[in-house]
Amino acid sequence: MVNSTNKRRILLVDDHGIVRSGMRSLIELEDDLEVTAEAASGMEALQLIRKQDFDIVLLDISMPDKNGVDTLRDMQRIKPELAVLILSGYAEELYALNLIRSGCRGYLSKDADPSEIIKAIRTICNGRRYVSVELADLLANELIKPSDKRMHEMLSEREFQVFYKLASGKSPTDIANELFLSVKTVSTYRARVLEKMNLKTNADLTYYAIKNELIN
């Protein structure tokens, strides 16, 4: 589908209306950018990308029905070429490395300067990744001192997804249904996660996630 306006088409995904309103107001100041749709949940976002074309998705992580980790993975499956910028209330050091591995083109904290958000949108729409100063430091540290990585940063994409759900209190059966896996497969991933993170129980995973501010 041709974009007749020549403006970059943006989908805003955040469960807080005031955040979407603020982002829309910011973007509407730019002549080359346009918010063409909004979604208050991951499920709503997936429905929209099936029906409409977007140049970029601005995606939150913490949402009630389907978190941004799962939503990003499903977006990659439905439209692999779709560019996604994670715009989250969580700082870069908490999620950025895992989500970059999962396919997002950039990661910014919501308290980033408005000019940097606009710069990131334009950079990604032009086919490049956006690497903030904070993310650049994380990537550099990973190359220089890989042993200094946090335990959750050593997980694979799927392991991190299972870890996040277990830490949030979901059962293996629920996780299996959500990820279209068998319960046995989920249990295998759980065992790998516990071993890699040197933890013993789901309660340990939850404590780790809370302590590291990965969940509220």
Higher pLDDT, 213 or 73: 73
Please provide the distance, in angstroms rounded to a whole number, between the alpha carbons at the two ends of the chain. Answer: 40
Q: What is the pLDDT of residue 151?
A: 83
Task: Tell me the CA distances in angstroms from 69 to 6, 51, 177, one per residue in order.
Answer: 30, 21, 16
Q: Tens of pLDDT along 127-186?
A: 999 988 887 877 777 666 655 567 888 888 889 999 999 998 999 999 999 889 999 999
- The position carrying tokens 């029906």 is 51
pLDDT of 64 higher than 90: no
Between CA 121 and CA 130 the distance in angstroms is 8
Q: pTM here? A: 0.68
**Which helix (H) or strand (E) segment is 12 a member of?**
strand 8-13
Residues 6+ apart with CB under 8 A from 37: 11, 12, 48, 52, 54
Q: What is the pLDDT of residue 3?
A: 53
Domains in the chain: boundaries: 8-142, 150-211
The proportion of the chain whose per-residue pLDDT surpasses 70, expressed as a percent, equals: 93
Class of domain 8-142: alpha beta
Class of domain 150-211: mainly alpha
